[in-house]
Structure 1
Amino acid sequence: MDFFDVVSTQEARNRIMRNFKEYEFKIEEISILEATDRILAESIYSNINVPEFNRSTVDGYAIKFKDSQGASESVPSLFNILGEVKMGETPKSSIKSGETMYVPTGGMIPEGADGMVMIEYTEKLDEENLMVYKPISFNENIVLKGDDIKKGEMVLKKGRRINPEVVGVLAALGIPKVKVYKRPKFYIISTGDEIIDIDEELELGKIRDINSYTLYSTIVKLGGEITGKTIVKDDYELLRKEVDKAIAISDIVLISGGSSVGTRDYTGKVIDSFNGKGVFVHGISIKPGKPTILGEGKGKLIVGLPGHPVSSIIVFKTIVEEYIYKKMGVIDYKLKTKVIMDFNFPSSPGQETYQMVKLENRDGKIYATPSFGKSGMITLLSNSDGYIIIKPYEEGIYKGEEREVYLL
C-alpha cells in the first residue's frame, strides 16, 4: 500500500471495525469485590424493588398526613402512640386516623401511614399521647418502595465501567458476581538497532526504549494486560518470529518504530507475511502520528506505531483505545473538560491535529496554553495535561474561544 495514500482518522477506525467485525473480547465472571475499573459485559436488570418497603428518611413518627393539617405550636395535633418500629422488623400494627408509631431512620413505615413527622416537631405527653406542632405533606420524609430502583428496570448498561458507586448498586441488588470483559492482552515490541533497554549502558548514538514503558503504563491505565515486552533489532526474520509469538498470546500486537517507508522498516512486510488480510492502513492524516500501520495477522490486530513517544501515545489513544472501547460498548469513556483557549494556533491543512496543552486555573476559570515541542520529546507529554483536537476543516484555534480538552 502506498504510504502517501493516507486515510482520515475516522476512516482508519472504520477499517479496523470492518476487518475485525467478528472479533470478540473474552468474558469472565468475577466477584464484585474484584470488579472495580472493569467493563460490564452484560446489562444488569433488577429482580427486586429498592427499597423493598416504604422507608423513613428521618427519626420521627409515622402518621396520616391529613391529621397534621393546621397543627402549630399554639394549637398542636394530638395522636395516640401505638408503639415503635424496630430496625429490621415489620410494624406490629397499621395506622388509623389519630394514631402514630415511632419509626427510626431507615425503618419500615406502618401500613396506613403516609407521612413522617420529624421528632424535633413533636412532644410526648406520656407513653400513649403525642403532640405534633408542624403540618406535613403527603409522603413527606418517606422513600417509597421502588423509588430508587423498580423491579425489572435496567439498572446498569453493558459497557459501563465499574466504579465504587456501581459496586454499591450491585450489592443493593444482592448480586455477588458479574460478567465483565477480560482484560485485553497486549504484546509490545520496540524495534531499531539504536534502541536499548533502560538498564543498559547508554552509548553515543543509542536511544533508551521510552515507548514500551509509556505504552505499558497507558495500557495498565486503560485496564489492559501486557503479555510481553521486548526489543527487536532491525531484522526481518527476528521481527517476524517475535510477532508470530506475540499473536499467539495477545489480542493486539503493538510494534513501536519501523512504520515509516525506509528500507529497514519491516513492520508492513512482516504483517503481510502472515497471509491474512495484511496491512489495510499505512498512513493516517493525523498530526502527530502520520506513519501509522494497521493490519491483521492470524486474526489479530497488529499496529505499527510511530517511533516518537508523543505520536505513539496519541495514535494509541485515538485508534487503539477507541477500537477496544467500541468493541466493548463502553459509553463516554474519554475524560474531558471545557476550557478557554489562551492562544491562537493554526491548523495543518488536510490533517487532524492533536495539540498538547497545559491547563491553568485563573479566577475560577480554566485556561489552556500550548505545550510546544517535537513529537520525539518525552517532556512534551510530561509537561502537558491533555490535548485538543483541531479538525482538518478548521482554520485553527482562536484565543478566547471555548474548546474541549481531552485529559491524558
Structure 2
Amino acid sequence: MNFFKVSSVDETKDIIDEYFHLEVEGEQVDIFNCVNRIAFDYIRADCNIPEFKRSTVDGFAVNSRDVFGATEAIPAILTLKGEILMGKVTDFNIVDGECAYVPTGGMLPEYADSVIMLEYTQKLDEDTILVYSPVASGDNVIQKGEDIQNDNIVIRKGEKIRPYEVGVLASIGIKHVNVCKKIKVGIISTGNELIACEDELTLGKIRDINTYMLWAAIIDDGAEPINYGIVKDDYKLLKHTICRATEECDILVISGGSSVGKKDQTIKAIEDFEDGKILVHGVSVKPGKPTIVAKKGDKIIFGLPGHPLACSIVYIIFIREYINKAMCYKKEVYAVKSIMSINYHKAKGREEYLPVALENDGDRIIAKPIFGKSGLISTFSRAWGYIKIEKDLEGLREGQVVEIYKL
C-alpha cells in the first residue's frame, strides 16, 4: 500500500501553474445571453452617453447668469421662449433673459447651462416666468459624455458581465458580445455504493451527492459541466471513462477513489495511460487531504475526496481558481470580520477551512463554527461561509476577530 506524500496548498497551486496552461477561446453571443459570462476582449464605447446636454429634472432651461441673486423677494423675470419635447432635437436657442421648459431627460438649448426646478418658479403669464432661486452652471444637468465618453473602456477583459454591464452595453448600442467560451468540466463519481438521486434507496447504498453539487458549482462559475455518471469500482470501465472524458473536456473531476484503499482504482487507471502522470497525491488541508492532481496529455485531472464537505472545499481551493485563471477572471473576494464564539483547536501544519454560521449581536457579528464530519453534506448547507485557518496556527481564540469568506 502506498501512502500519501503530502503537498501544501501553495505547493499544489505551483504544480498546477507549472504543468497546465489552459487557453480559452472567445465566442460571440447575443446581449441577452451574455450575463455572468466573462468578457474575452476590452469593450470600448463608440459614442458619448449622453450625446447631448440633458436635464435631470422637470423645469426651465436657463443660463445661470440670468438668475444670479434671484430670491423670493426679488425674483428673476425671464421670457418663456418655448417647450422642449422629449426625443426631439431642440429647434430653437435661448438668448439673454430667456428660458425654455424642459422635461426630465430633455435636451437643453445651446445657450442654457443649467435647469431651475419647477418648484422654484411661477408662471406669471403665457410668456413670463418668475424664478425664485439661483442656480450654478451645470446644476440639474448631465453634460455630453458625462456618463460614458467616446472610446472609453466600459468593460475590461476578464470582467464578469452582470446585469448592470448589460445595461451599459445596450446604452452604447452593442448587440453581440465577445465572451470566453465555456470551459468544459467532466464529472465522474466512483463507488459501488453510489446510486443516482432519483433511485430507490436500499440498505448499504447512498445517493450520489457530489455529481449534483459539482454540477451546480461549475455552472455557478460560468463553466459547462458534462456528467459521465457513476462508475463502479471497475478498473477497465473507469479507465475507458477517463479516456473519453479527457478527450471531450478541458478539465476532469473524479469524485471518490482518491484515498489509499485497495479498491480505489483512480491512481492506477491514470498511471496506466502512456501520457498519464500523478503530480500530487495528498494535500495538507482539512478537510480534503486525499486529493489528487494528475495529467493525461495536456489535460488536468482532479481527484476529489468522496466526502461532500471535503469535495466542496477542494473544489473551492483548486478547481474554481483554475477555471477563473483560465478565463483571466480575477474574482474580488471580500471577507466579513466577525468575532469567534468559542476556542477552536486545530492540528498545526495543515491549512483548515472551518464552516461557520453568522449571528448578529448588537453591533457585532458572531461566527459560530458548524461541526460535522466531512461525510455530512448538511454542514456546508447550514454555513454562511468559512474561516481559512493558516497551517502554522494551532487554532482560534474565543473573542478573536476572524475573517469569514462567503460560500
> Does TM-score exceed 0.5, indicating one fold?
yes
Corresponding position of 2:124: 125
Is it true that 1:137 corresponds to 2:136 in the alignment?
A: yes
Closer, same or farther in 2 for the Cα pair 1:100/1:16, shift >3 Å? same
Structure 1: gaps spanning 5 or more residues? none
Which shows bigger deviation, 175-184 or 270-279?
270-279
Extract structure 1 runs of 4+ deviating beyond 6 A. Answer: none
Which shows bigger deviation, 386-395 or 190-199?
190-199
Instruction: Tell me, in whole angstroms, the C-alpha distance in 1 between the residues paired with 2:113 and 2:400.
Output: 53
Letter of the structure 2 residue corresponding to residue 321 of structure 1: R
Q: CA offset at residue 233 of structure 1?
A: 1.8
Percent of pairs with identical residues: 45
Please give the root-mean-square deviation of Cα atoms over the aligned residues, in Å.
Answer: 1.8
Corresponding position of 1:41: 40
How big is each residue's C-alpha offset from its partner over 1:130-187, in whole Å with a ceiling of 9 and x where there is no partner? 1110011121001111111111111111222222111100001110010112222222
The TM-score normalised by the length of structure 2 is 0.94
Q: CA offset at residue 316 of structure 1?
A: 0.6
Is it true that 1:5 corresponds to 2:31 in the alignment?
A: no
Q: Is the 8 A contact 1:227 1:249 kept in 2?
A: no
Closer, same or farther in 2 for the Cα pair 1:274/1:26, shift >3 Å? farther
Instruction: Tell me, in whole angstroms, the C-alpha distance in 2 between the residues paired with 1:252 and 1:180.
Output: 19
Corresponding position of 2:14: 14
Once the two structures are superposed, the pairs formed by residues 8-407 of structure 1 within 5 Å of their partners are 8-21=8-21, 23-276=22-275, 278-334=277-333, 336-407=335-406
Q: Is the 8 A contact 1:62 1:109 kept in 2?
A: yes
Partner SS state of residue 301, structure 1 = strand
Instruction: Tell me, in whole angstroms, the C-alpha distance in 1 between the residues paired with 2:143 and 2:157.
Output: 28
Instruction: Tell me, in whole angstroms, the C-alpha distance in 1 between the residues paired with 2:61 and 2:198.
Output: 71
Structure 2: gaps spanning 5 or more residues? none
Instruction: Tell me, in whole angstroms, the C-alpha distance in 1 between the residues paired with 2:161 and 2:336.
Output: 21
Q: Is the 8 A contact 1:58 1:104 kept in 2?
A: yes
Instruction: Tell me, in whole angstroms, the C-alpha distance in 2 between the residues paired with 1:123 and 1:29.
Output: 54
Q: Is the 8 A contact 2:324 2:331 kept in 1?
A: no
Instruction: Tell me, in whole angstroms, the C-alpha distance in 2 between the residues paired with 1:171 and 1:365.
Output: 42
Q: CA offset at residue 282 of structure 1?
A: 1.3
How big is each residue's C-alpha offset from its partner over 1:188-230, in whole Å with a ceiling of 9 and x where there is no partner? 1111222233344444333322221222222232233222231
Letter of the structure 2 residue corresponding to residue 5 of structure 1: K
Instruction: Tell me, in whole angstroms, the C-alpha distance in 1 between the residues paired with 2:17 and 2:383.
Output: 31
Partner SS state of residue 36, structure 2 = coil
Between the two proteins, the alignment pairs up a number of residues equal to 406
Letter of the structure 2 residue corresponding to residue 4 of structure 1: F
Q: Is the 8 A contact 2:28 2:176 kept in 1?
A: yes
How big is each residue's C-alpha offset from its partner over 1:54-95, in whole Å with a ceiling of 9 and x where there is no partner? 111011111111221111111001112211211112222223
How big is each residue's C-alpha offset from its partner over 1:7-55, in whole Å with a ceiling of 9 and x where there is no partner? 221221222222112x212321111111122221122111111111111
Q: Is the 8 A contact 1:274 1:298 kept in 2?
A: no
Letter of the structure 1 residue corresponding to residue 41 of structure 2: E
Letter of the structure 2 residue corresponding to residue 40 of structure 1: A
Q: Is the 8 A contact 1:356 1:371 kept in 2?
A: yes
Q: CA offset at residue 312 of structure 1?
A: 0.4
Closer, same or farther in 2 for the Cα pair 1:52/1:277, shift >3 Å? farther
Letter of the structure 1 residue corresponding to residue 365 of structure 2: I
Q: Is the 8 A contact 2:253 2:304 kept in 1?
A: yes
